[in-house]
Amino acid sequence: MRIVQFTVTGRPLAKGRVRFTKTGHAFTPDRTVNFEGKLALAAQAAMNGQPPAGGPVAVTLEVLLPIAASWPKKKREDAVAGRLRPTGRPDLDNFAKMLDALNLVVWNDDAQIVELVVFKRYSEAPQLAITVDTIFD
């Protein structure tokens, strides 16, 4: 059964590495914190007052990256058709790490994710699309 499905429009951001100050204090980059907030806010709106899921969930995470405006027409067409896929950075697993932002919003803890499908491709409409389903109805 579908729990929630939503998108965050604009260029998707992967989880940034933890940084350290000169004194050794660890911090998460502001860009990551801001995108996690945007993701949590979109999820909260899509949940429409539902409580977080309590059981196992399956998640599909679609990372739709922008096509460079400088690319030739043929390359752009291949990207839109899916014949050209993004194989460079950021790594796919770093996008999946952004799901931490949905703790206590969509589920109680991301440990409840027992099935995860993540893919990245190019799109003329860059976005991060997330679908969450229950495993048992």
Q: pLDDT averaged over the chain?
A: 92
What is the DSSP annotation of the chain?
A: -EEEEEEEESS--PPPPPEE-TT--EE--HHHHHHHHHHHHHHHHHHTTPPPB-S-EEEEEEEEEEPPTTS-HHHHHHHHHTSS---SSSPHHHHHGGGGGGBTTTBS-GGGEEEEEEEEEEESS-EEEEEEEES--
Reported as a single tens digit per residue, the pLDDT across 13-47 is 888 777 788 888 887 778 888 999 999 999 999 99
Question: Which domains are present in the chain?
Answer: 2-134 (3.30.1330.70)
pLDDT tens, 91-106?
999 999 999 999 999 9
